[in-house]
Amino acid sequence: MIGRASSTVAATFQQVLGAPPSPDGIFVEKLGTAFDAPRKGKPVTRDESRAAGRRLYDGAITTGKAEDVEALAETYIQNTGWTPDGSANFGKAWAVGRGGMPNGLAVQTLIVAENDRVASISNWDGTVTISGNSVDFQSADFLRIEDGVAAEHWDTVDYIRCFLQYFNSVRGQGEARGTRCRDRAGG
């Protein structure tokens, strides 16, 4: 049931974004740029990479505004297949996501950067507009920074927990934990 429900959710989301359906599972994933591939653009410091990752969260992820994608390269590559490549598609996806959970909060609890690579762990929570249920889940994001913006992205999300809570498949389990991120953020 979980696999079928997740596939349906993913297919619906991809349809809303205008993405091609996934023929081989929930998402079509790409390997992305090899870790040891030659770098493009000017060398990037750890602090510049960390700042670019922070700007990404402060942009469309937090605001839900499709146009808040200044922290992304126009040719942004999304390797996990959640959305098609391109900064405009990323912004559109977050506008859709935030529309379903407008009070949601994503707190980066750990950010590690080295040269042009950034890794972060985030806790998410909020209330789903349609059901009124609370959700909370975690994600890990990995970015390649080029010329001060995110050029490439890999992520892993606790999709099972997210989808089950988001679509009310598990009743009452999100409410008790739904304030965890806000408590950590002091809000």
CB-based burial of residue 90 (10 Å sphere; 0-12 exposed, 13-18 middle, 19+ buried)? buried
**What's residue 119's pLDDT?**
95
In Å, how far are 96, 103, 105 from 15, measured between CA atoms?
12, 24, 25
- Say which residue the tokens 């409410």 belong to: 175
Q: Answer yes or no: is pLDDT of 174 > 70.
A: no
Q: Answer yes or no: is pLDDT of 62 > 80.
A: yes
Give dist(CA 69, CA 27) in Å, integer: 23
Residue 149 or 4, more confident: 149
Which tens digit of pLDDT belongs to each residue from 18-47? 776 666 555 567 788 887 788 877 889 999
**What's residue 93's pLDDT?**
85
**What's residue 97's pLDDT?**
81
Burial 46-83 (b: 16+ CB within 10 A, else e): eebbbbbbbbbbebbbeebebebbebbbeebbbbbbbb
Q: Which CATH number fits domain 28-185: 3.90.1300.10, 3.20.20.140, 3.10.450.50, 3.40.1160.10?
A: 3.10.450.50
Taking residues 137-165, report their average pLDDT: 87
Give dist(CA 127, CA 115) in Å, integer: 36
Residue positions counted in the chain? 187
Q: Answer yes or no: is pLDDT of 184 > 50.
A: no
| Predicted model pTM | 0.77
The answer to whether 127 and 149 are in contact (CB under 8 A) is no
DSSP state of 127: E
CB-based burial of residue 29 (10 Å sphere; 0-12 exposed, 13-18 middle, 19+ buried)? middle
114 bridge partner residues: 117
Q: Where are the domains of the chain?
A: 28-185
Give dist(CA 44, CA 140) in Å, integer: 21
Residues above pLDDT 70, as percent of the chain: 74
